[in-house]
Amino acid sequence: MAKQITVSGVRPTGRQHLGNYFGAVLNFVKMQEEYNGYFFVADYHSLTTHPKPEDLKANVKQIVVEYLACGVDPNKCILYLQSDLPQIPELYLIFNMFAYLGELERAATFKEKVRSQPNNVNAGLLTYPVLMAVDIVIHKAAKVPVGKDQQQHLEMTRDFVARFNNLYGVQYFPEPEAFNYDSSLISIPSLDGEGKMSKSKGEHTCIYLADEPEALRKKIMRAKTDTGPTVPNSPKPQEIQNLFDLMRLVSSSDTVRFFDDKYNDCTIRYGDMKKQLAEDMVNYLTPIRIKIEELSANDKLLNEIINDGGNKARQSAAQTLKDVREIIGIKSFGE
Ligand code: ADP
Ligand code: TRP
């Protein structure tokens, strides 16, 4: 049976953090074994915030390096830059006809941007979900590994696809599903205890894959806690739950149980818990950080990988555009 297709990307807006890793990239690494994987750097998507050209270039390289350091393997999947596919803007134009103003305005991510950057509510932000849908359908993907924050975008993608298929009476594009190996989509909390970890929220709220051990220890020791439970088996406040959630990602189950028992009998010392978490985090991330450092010095290899991935991804995208033009009746007289 033909392998299913999976597509996903990360915006080049800074160094990747634990949320990107556990929500997205770790899934890429597992999925490349069983799926036809297309993993890319969503550079067009990052233009909504008008980055400086030199920052954008550096961040694109950073994402490629980090993908590879995490184990995304160009021999097992196709790794490319979104902007290397000229078919993306073409299909984006076509898909804009299937997206309605009301639903775009209602998207949670759009409303959040209207709140957080009222002076830059550009049309690119409004149609961000259309561009994302196009990234996915350009390779006719069935599964999309993303974090929980992207769930609504996936629902919108399914709607656009359904409208396209209905209008033209075809079953051309599959309706893609958001995916995580752990059955449900995840959201890694920010270290400040408020909302999800995000590249745009600032240095001290994120654990970056490339963080040096000392920086990691400092951030974790500074994470917010309280005075500790006084009643046995009490529910955990959000910031304490967050620490346990992080521990579950990088520590052994015995370690988690040890601190959970201490919490439940009110003898927990958060300082000890954070020290343990910091050490486990350092051990978990050090091999990735070392690979990031090594790969960063190898521009020649990075260029080869991206050129090769671009060639392969363009072939798949060109086939889709050819089919779509045929389906919608855009065909020159000579053909
Ligand atoms: P950011 O929000 O940090 O700028 P991106 O928007 O580039 O990151 O997201 C890239 C991928 O990482 C997406 O699949 C997104 O769902 C996932 N992701 C980002 N932050 C988190 C988080 N805190 N928890 C889980 N997944 C996340
Ligand atoms: N919108 C995603 C984010 O902000 C990034 C992204 C762009 C993406 N295109 C995609 C993710 C296609 C999955 C598939 O995180």
Interhelix angle 238-250/270-296, nearest 10 degrees: 50
Mutate which of 7, 10, 245 for ligand 1 pocket (most atoms within 8 A of beta carbon): 10
What is the CA 296 to chain-centroid distance, rounded? 21
Would you state the pLDDT for residue 11? 97
State mean pLDDT over 290-316: 98
pLDDT tens-digit map of 25-45: 999 999 999 999 999 999 999
Query: How many percent of the chain have pLDDT more than 70?
Result: 99
- Answer whether residue 112 is part of any domain: yes
Mean pLDDT of the chain: 96
- Which residue, by CA, sits nearest to atom 13 of ligand 2? 8
Same domain for 36 and 110?
yes
Same domain for 260 and 128?
no
The ligand whose atoms approach the alpha carbon of 67 most closely is 1
Please give the full DSSP string across 96-143, using - where no structure is assigned.
GGG--HHHHHH-HHHHHHHHH-GGG--HHHHTHHHHHHHHHHTTT-SE
Q: Is the pLDDT of residue 197 over 80?
A: yes
How far is it, in rounded angstroms, from Cα 35 to Cα 70? 18
Query: How many percent of the chain have pLDDT more than 90?
Result: 90
What is the phi-psi region of residue 193: left when phi exceeds 0, alpha when psi lies from -120 to 50, beta otherwise? left
Domain count, the chain: 2
The ligand whose atoms approach the alpha carbon of 82 most closely is 2
- Answer whether residue 334 is part of any domain: no
What the block records as the tokens of 265 is 């009998």
Q: Is the pLDDT of residue 335 over 70?
A: no
How far is it, in rounded angstroms, from Cα 283 to Cα 304? 31
Give ligand 2 pocket residues (Cβ under 6 A): 7-9, 11, 42, 45, 132, 135-136, 144, 146, 150, 153
Same domain for 84 and 40?
yes
Same domain for 170 and 249?
no
Please give the full DSSP string across 284-329, using - where no structure is assigned.
HHHHHHHHHHHHHT-HHHHHHHHHHHHHHHHHHHHHHHHHHHHHHT
Whole-number Å distance, alpha carbon 218 to ligand 2 midpoint, is 31
Whole-number Å distance, alpha carbon 256 to ligand 2 midpoint, is 32
Would you state the pLDDT for residue 192? 83
Count the Cβ atoms, other than its own, within 10 Å of residue 267.
11
Whole-number Å distance, alpha carbon 290 to ligand 1 midpoint, is 22
Mutate which of 5, 6, 7, 10 for ligand 2 pocket (most atoms within 8 A of beta carbon): 10
The ligand whose atoms approach the alpha carbon of 205 most closely is 1
What is the CA 122 to chain-centroid distance, rounded? 22
What is the biggest distance separating any 2 CA atoms in the chain, rounded to whole angstroms? 81
Task: Kindly give the pairing relationship between strand 177-179 and strand 143-145.
Answer: parallel
CATH number, domain with residue 64? 3.40.50.620
- Answer whether residue 65 is part of any domain: yes
Same domain for 170 and 58?
yes
User: Quick one: which atom of ligand 2 is closest to the CA of 109?
Assistant: 4
Q: Which residues, other chains included, contact 155 with Cβ-Cβ below 8 Å and sequence gap of 6+?
A: none
- Answer whether residue 335 is part of any domain: no
- Answer whether residue 333 is part of any domain: no
Same domain for 263 and 156?
no
Q: Is the pLDDT of residue 182 over 70?
A: yes
Would you state the pLDDT for residue 200? 80
How far is it, in rounded angstroms, from Cα 40 to Cα 181? 20
Same domain for 140 and 203?
no
What the block records as the tokens of 70 is 């995490």
Same domain for 167 and 268?
no
What the block records as the tokens of 131 is 């561009």
Would you state the pLDDT for residue 297? 97
Same domain for 59 and 146?
yes
Q: Is the pLDDT of residue 334 over 70?
A: no
Residue ranges making up the domain that contains 127 = 5-187+299-328
**DSSP H or E stretch at residue 37:** strand 36-41
- Answer whether residue 251 is part of any domain: yes
- Tracing tokens 């050209």 back to the chain, one arrives at 53
- Answer whether residue 220 is part of any domain: yes
pLDDT tens-digit map of 93-152: 999 999 999 999 999 999 999 999 999 999 999 999 999 999 999 999 999 999 999 999
pLDDT tens-digit map of 236-286: 999 899 999 999 999 999 999 999 999 999 999 999 999 999 999 999 999
Answer yes or no: is the C-beta of 147 below 6 A from any ligand 1 atom.
Answer: yes
- Answer whether residue 194 is part of any domain: no
Confidence of residue 203 (pLDDT cuts 50, 70, 90): confident
Same domain for 44 and 146?
yes
Please give the full DSSP string across 149-212, using - where no structure is assigned.
GGHHHHHHHHHHHHHHHHHHT---S---EEE-TTSS---PBPTTSSSB--GGG-GGG--BTT--
Same domain for 241 and 225?
yes
Whole-number Å distance, alpha carbon 145 to ligand 2 midpoint, is 9
CATH number, domain with residue 267? 1.10.240.10
Half-sphere exposure of 317 (CA within 13 A, CB side): 26
Same domain for 173 and 136?
yes
Answer yes or no: is the C-beta of 9 below 6 A from any ligand 1 atom.
Answer: no
User: Quick one: which atom of ligand 1 is closest to the CA of 146?
Assistant: 14
